Chain A
C-alpha cells in the first residue's frame, strides 16, 4: 500500500491552513478591513435617512416598519457573502499563487470550503458593526428578528456561495478578464429579487423570473415579518429547496470550469 492511500479525502486541517492564509492577509492590510465595513455602513446610513425622510412626508406603514433598512442589511448579506467568497479566490489570482495551491494536496472541495468560511468571516467583520450602527442611528434591530433572521441568513448565504462559485469558475477558466463579474454579477438580483419592493410590483412575466430566485422569497418574507408580523416558513422552505438545487448546479459548473481550465492550460497563466 502506498503512503498516499491513507491520506484523508477531505482534511479540515488543509481548510484551516487556507483560512489562515486569508486571515494573515486581512491582518496585514487595514485598507482591506476598512473596505469590508465602509460600503455597508454608507449604504445603510443613506437608506436609513431616506426612510426617515419618506416616513415624515407620507404615511405608508411599510416605511414605519423599517423595511428599507431591513432590506439593505439583508441585501448586504447576499452581496457581501458573494464578494467575500469571490474576493478570497481573486486574491490567489492577484498573488499568482493559484498554481502553488492547486499543486499542493489541497482538494477542490477543501478550497471551496475555505472560501465559504472566509465569506462568513468577512461578512461578520463587515456587517456585524453595521447592524449595531442601525440600532444606534435608526433604532432598527436586525438581531431582534431571531429565528427568522437565521432562516433569511441561511438562504441568502447559500445563494451568495452559488454565485461566488460560478464567478470563481469563470475567472479560473477565463483569467482576470472575468474579474469584473465578481463585482457586478449580483446586482442583477437587485431589481429581480425585489429587494426594496414587493414582487406584485413587477409585470407578470417578470414575476416568474423573480420567483425562480431564492432571495426573492427572503425579501418577501422579511416584508411579511416586518409589516404583518408573520413569519412565512413556506417561503423559506421554497427558497431553501431552490438554493440546494442551485448550489449543487454551481458546484458542478465550478468543477467543469476547473477541468476546462486544465484542458486549456490556463491555470498557470492567471493573467488577463
Chain B
C-alpha cells in the first residue's frame, strides 16, 4: 500500500466556520481548523464540548447547519463517496456484529473497502495487533480490550490516510491503552497518516498529538502544541490546563476575552 504524502499542500482536514444546531441548542458553534497530512491533532474538551459531533460531521454522518468540511480537498457534504476509501474511524458509538468472528468481520470490511490481498492484510493486522488467537472467535465474546484491538484492526484495514478516533482507549486498562497508543504512533510514523483524536485522556493527547484543540460548549477556546499550551497556562500537564479552561480559573481566567 502506498504511504500517504505528508508533504502534500492539501490539508487532510479543512474545517471552516462549522456549525451544528439541534433543537436543544448549538452543539458546534462556528469552529475552523486544519489538520495537515501526517499530523496528529487532538480534540480535547469535556462532555458536551462538541468533539463527537465535530468528528461525525467530518465523517459526513452528520450534516452541518453551516460551514464546510473538506477531507483531502473533497467536500464531505456533497462528495464524501469520493474519499471514504482513504478514511476510517473508530468510535465507542459503534460496534462490530457480535455473532461474526473477528476474521469474518475483517473480511466483510476489507471487501467493502476494496482491500487488495485481503487475506494478507488480515494476517498482517492480526500479527501487529496480537489478534491471531482471536481471529476465529465471535466478536461478541471478546473482552473490552480485545474488542478495542479488533475495532482498531477494522479502522486500519484499508491503511487509511486519515484516521478519526473518538476516545480510542476509553474504558481500557492502562497497559492495553498504552499498547494501543504505541501502535498508533507506529502506524502514523510508517504510513504518514493524519490522525484526528478526540479524547478525555490528557496523557494520551499529550503523548500522541502535535497540536491540541481545546473545545468548550461547541467552541474552540484555545489551540497549540502541548508544550505551548503548558507554557501559556503555566502548568505541568494538560489535565491542569483542561481544568483551568473548564472551570475558568488560573491563567485561563486572565486570558479569557
A residues sitting closer than 8 Å to B (CB atoms) are: 2-5, 7, 9, 11, 13-14, 16-18, 20-21, 24-25, 28-29, 91, 95-107, 259, 262-265, 267-269
Q: Does B208 contact A (CB under 8 A)?
A: no
Residue of B nearest to A259 (CB): B63
- Give the distance to chain B from A99, nearest Cβ to Cβ, in Å: 4
Q: Max chain B CB contacts within 10 Å: which of A96, A100, A102, A107?
A: A100
Assuming A14-B112, A20-B107, A105-B112, is B97 touching A262 (CB within 8 A)? no
Contact among A3, A25, A259 for B100, CB-based, below 8 A: A25
Min CB–CB distance A110 → chain B (angstroms): 9
Query: What would 13 more interface pairs be, CB under 8 Å, given A14-B111, A97-B94, A100-B94?
Result: A7-B85, A13-B114, A14-B114, A17-B112, A20-B111, A24-B108, A96-B93, A96-B94, A104-B109, A105-B113, A107-B81, A262-B62, A265-B56
Question: Does B148 make an interface contact (CB < 8 A)?
Answer: no
Selected contact of A5 from candidates B53, B82, B88, B99, CB within 8 Å: B82
Identify the 3 closest CB pairs spanning chains A and B, nearest first: A17-B111, A99-B94, A96-B95
Contact between chains at B111 and A95 (CB < 8 Å): no
CB nearest to B157 among chain A residues: A104
> Which residue in chain B gives the minimum CB-CB distance to A91?
B97
* Chain B residues closer than 8 Å to A95, beta-carbon distance: 95-98
Residue of B at shortest CB range from A264? B22
Task: Give the chain B neighbours of A2 by CB distance below 8 A.
Answer: 72-74, 82-83
**Are A268 and B94 closer than 8 Å at their CB atoms?**
yes
Given the known interface contacts A20-B111, A103-B61, the answer about A97 and B97 at a Cβ–Cβ threshold of 8 Å is yes
Return 19 A-B CB contacts under 8 Å, by A number.
Answer: A2-B72, A11-B114, A14-B112, A14-B114, A17-B112, A95-B96, A96-B93, A99-B93, A100-B96, A100-B154, A101-B112, A103-B84, A105-B81, A105-B85, A262-B63, A263-B62, A265-B62, A267-B62, A268-B56
Q: Does B89 belong to the interface (CB within 8 Å)?
A: yes
Distance, CA A95 to CA B100, complexed state (A): 10
A104 in contact with B99 (CB, 8 Å): no
Q: Are B108 and A4 in contact (CB under 8 A)?
A: no
A residues in contact with B188, CB < 8 Å: none
A98 proximity list for chain B (CB < 8 A)? 94
A104 and B112 contacting across the interface, CB-CB below 8 Å: yes
Which single residue of chain A is at the shortest CB-CB distance from B139? Answer: A95
In the complex, chain B residues whose CB is within 8 Å of the CB of A13? 111, 114
Question: Within 8 Å CB of B62, what residues of A?
Answer: 262-263, 265, 267-268
Tell me if B87 is interfacial: C-beta within 8 Å of chain A. yes
Chain B 41-76 per-residue mask, 1 if CB under 8 angstroms from chain A, else 0? 000000000001100100111110000000011100
Most-contacted residue by chain B among A4, A98, A264 (CB, 10 A)? A4
Q: Name the distance in Å between B161's Cβ and chain A's nearest Cβ.
A: 9
CA distance A107 to B22 in the complex (A): 26
CB atoms of B61 and A267 under 8 A apart: yes
A92 to chain B, nearest CB (A): 8
In which size bucket is the chain B interface? 35 or more
Most buried by A among B61, B82, B98, B113: B61
Interface residues of B in 199-229 (CB under 8 A from A): none
Q: Are A103 and B72 in contact (CB under 8 A)?
A: no
B55 to chain A: closest CB distance in Å?
Answer: 9
Residues in chain B near residue A5, CB distance under 8 A: 82
Q: A20-B111, A105-B114, A262-B61 are in contact. Are A4 and B83 (CB under 8 A)?
A: yes
Chain A residues with CB under 8 Å of B88's CB are 103
CB atoms of A100 and B109 under 8 A apart:
yes
Chain B residues whose CB sits within 8 angstroms of the CB of A24 once the complex forms: 99-101, 104, 108
Given A14-B111, A17-B112, A98-B94, are A4 and B99 also a contact pair (CB < 8 Å)? Answer: no
Cβ of B149 within 8 Å of any chain A Cβ, yes or no, is no
A29 and B63: CB pair below 8 A? Answer: no
Closest approach, in angstroms, between the C-beta of B125 and any C-beta of chain A? 16
The distance in angstroms between the C-alpha atoms of A265 and B93, with both chains bound, is: 12
Partner of A103, one of B89, B98, B101, B111: B89
Residues on A with beta carbons closer than 8 Å to the beta carbon of B72: 2
Q: How far is the CA of A99 from the CA of B88 in the complex (A)?
A: 11
Residues of B within 8 A of A103 (CB): 59-61, 84, 87-89
CB neighbours of B107 from chain A (8 A): 20
Q: Cβ of B191 < 8 Å from any Cβ of A?
A: no
CB-CB under 8 A from B183, the residues of chain A are: none
B86 adjacent to chain A (CB < 8 Å) = yes
Query: Is B36 part of the contact surface with A, judged by Cβ < 8 Å?
Result: no
In the complex, the chain B residue whose C-beta lies closest to that of A268 is: B93
**B112, chain A: closest CB distance, angstroms:** 4
CB of A97 within 8 A of CB of B61, answer: no
Interface contact B91-A99, CB-CB below 8 Å: yes
With the chains together, A16 CA to B112 CA distance in Å?
Answer: 9
Q: Given A14-B112, A17-B111, A17-B112, do A104 and B84 touch, yes or no (CB 8 Å)?
A: yes
